[in-house]
Amino acid sequence: MPERAWSNDQLRTFLIALRSGGIFDAGRDVDDADRVHFRREAANRIVPEVVRRVLADVGAVIDPRGVAAVALEILEEEAYGAKHTWLMVTEDPWSYLTDLVAHEITRSYRSAVRRRSDDKVLSGIESASSRREIE
């Protein structure tokens, strides 16, 4: 029997727990079991759409477990930011989280791969040219 999906309120409860000690403190910290459970939930709720978007946007195939881990990292990094606030109040926090994760992965891909590709092209041009021709 498949596990029941987290509701929006359950996601918000997890977000509150990530802010342990803040004004919305739920009275408990997030432990490793909670993080594992979130990554499992993210794998079901957001990973398929993020994988599809990244493939469509930049043509990259990505690891689903890595996507779930990035989703958790984004939540932890944004524990007190504006994105956290919007996750708490939006009617569809799972959709917003999907957008955040897809955007972050796409942005990091473009930043990392473009530089690597540009460096490789420039190295090829440099090695194909003699030093006297460059000067």
Structure confidence by residue, pLDDT tens digits, 95-128: 999 999 999 999 999 888 865 555 666 566 666 5
Residue type, 18: L
Higher pLDDT among residues 115 and 45, named by residue: 45
> Can you give the pTM of this predicted structure?
0.75
Residue 7 to residue 10: CA distance in whole angstroms = 5
Residue type, 44: N
Q: How high is the pLDDT of residue 87?
A: 94
Structure confidence by residue, pLDDT tens digits, 73-90: 999 998 888 999 999 999
Number of residues that make up the chain: 135
Q: How high is the pLDDT of residue 20?
A: 72
Q: How high is the pLDDT of residue 122?
A: 58
Higher pLDDT among residues 97 and 34, named by residue: 97
Question: Mean pLDDT of all residues in the chain?
Answer: 83
Q: How high is the pLDDT of residue 125?
A: 60
Instruction: Provide the H-helix boundaries in 19-92.
Output: 32-45, 47-58, 64-77, 82-89
Percentage of the chain exceeding pLDDT 70: 74
